[in-house]
Amino acid sequence: MKIAVTSQNFRTITGHAGKTRRFIIYDAQGTDAPVEIERLNLDKEMSMHSWAGGEHPIDVSDILITASCGDGFIRKMASRNIEVLRTSETDPLTAIKMLLNGQELPPPEPHSH
């Protein structure tokens, strides 16, 4: 299973998934330790907010973990067969290990504009 994490700093799980241009992609099999396989550092027009359609590098993912996103982003990802999980957990490996062990991720922090 491929798990993408939104990470503008390539260290922690960050929010605003629709405008994120940086993702860490992990390969996660069973309860084995997830392995980082790729870092995406996309041009601004490749953010999902700006993307017009067609194939996208994030499409390799089965699951996307983020700190925040809107319902429209979740629908857009679902149409690409990617499940979106929002969480307040900031460490990518901790979040993925929790997921692989069947644990529920901590809920995201409240977000308002």
Is residue 74 in some structural domain? yes
- Residue-number span of the structural domain to which 31 is assigned: 2-100
Is residue 108 in some structural domain? no
- pLDDT of the residue at 111: 66
- pLDDT of the residue at 86: 98
Is residue 64 in some structural domain? yes
Sheet arrangement for strand 22-27? 35-41, 22-27, 2-6, 63-66, 83-86
Rounded CA-CA distance 52/86 in Å is 24
Low-confidence ranges of the chain (pLDDT < 50): none
> Both tokens of residue 34?
């997830």
- pLDDT of the residue at 91: 98
- pLDDT of the residue at 21: 96
- Give the CA distances from residue 13 to residues 27, 52, 53, 79, 91, in Å, rounded to whole numbers and listed in that order: 16, 25, 25, 23, 6
Is residue 113 in some structural domain? no
Is residue 106 in some structural domain? no
Is residue 107 in some structural domain? no
- pLDDT of the residue at 72: 93
Is residue 38 in some structural domain? yes
Is residue 40 in some structural domain? yes
Q: What is the CATH number of the domain that holds 84?
A: 3.30.420.130
pTM attached to this predicted model: 0.94
> Both tokens of residue 24?
């860490």
For the chain, the domain total comes to 1
